[in-house]
Structure 1
Amino acid sequence: MIEVRDVVTSVLYGLGENANRKHSDPEIIDALNIVLRYVNLALINAKSFWITKEVKLKPRNGKANLPTDFGGFKSFEDDFDSKYKFVGNTIKIDKEATMAYTYILDPIENIDDEIDLPYVLFDMFSRYSLGLLNGNFGADTVAGLISAEIQKMVAGESSGPIERPMPFFV
């Protein structure tokens, strides 16, 4: 989890505003939310396990509602062999199933919030928020840079960390 307060402190330090502030908390939070949206979108497109949840779908009349935070489909359980089709905010399925999906992160509302992402992304939030506030680049540039960086980060990602058995010696 990334503490928003820590990112704000890092951004203020980068701006040289630790003692004398020019940017308010809402301005910084707005820049962080821009970065968060692009990071979230890049992770959804990469189908990252960092933003994966599972939900049990129980159809009524051949369809089930998708979760409100649904961002993208990943997979069904291995034993699910029926046809399915996404229509709007629903999915047409014939039987109960457990679905893995990528989810949309909640926006940052205040400085005491936490971002539900691993700390390895802390620097990305600091750098790109700082760049937005400095006017070094616009939101479109940030989108491309974040997408490229996320693609590199998740290139070797499968379904999570590799688990290997411990060697056992007799």
Structure 2
Amino acid sequence: MTPERFQDLIASLTASLEGQPLDDALAERLNREHPAGSPVFEAIFEACRQAVAAGWMCSRENDGIRWGRVIKHGAATHGFSVDVVDMQNLAGPHHVHPQGEIDMVMPIQADGTPGGAARFDGQGAGWKVYGPGSAHRPTVSGGRALVLYLLPQGAIEFSRAASA
């Protein structure tokens, strides 16, 4: 998996997201059309696993979170930037989504608790959407997960708040 091939793969998804309101209806649509186990979801998940293994994705680390912006927003991805994080049982830094955020949650390891499977802000494998102006402290519980963030125009604002 190369950065160019990854961008092409993401562009096929973001083409269907361009101009769509970032809301619960979009999350429902993504979970219906591209649920965990579907060809699109699994192709992106496998591409992320390969890119992490190759060392060009999630190449930075801070406070136990491996992360990185892998695609800047632009025409090729219909205005979305792409960040990917690798987190295990921890909360990340509080931030605001000025234009919203689309999250693809890819659990990669359960922590061994009964029925355990990694979750991102309560969402298991699948999609979570935050609307414009929303904020949170991204949290992975129940194990380890990769989370792909699509940010309209790359917009994100980190804050010093301790909680959402």
Same fold, judged at TM 0.5 (above):
no
Structure ranking higher in strand proportion = 2
Compute the TM-score of the two structures, normalised by the length of structure 1.
Answer: 0.26
1 or 2, which has the higher helix percentage?
Answer: 1
Larger radius of gyration: 1
- TM-score by structure 2 length? 0.27
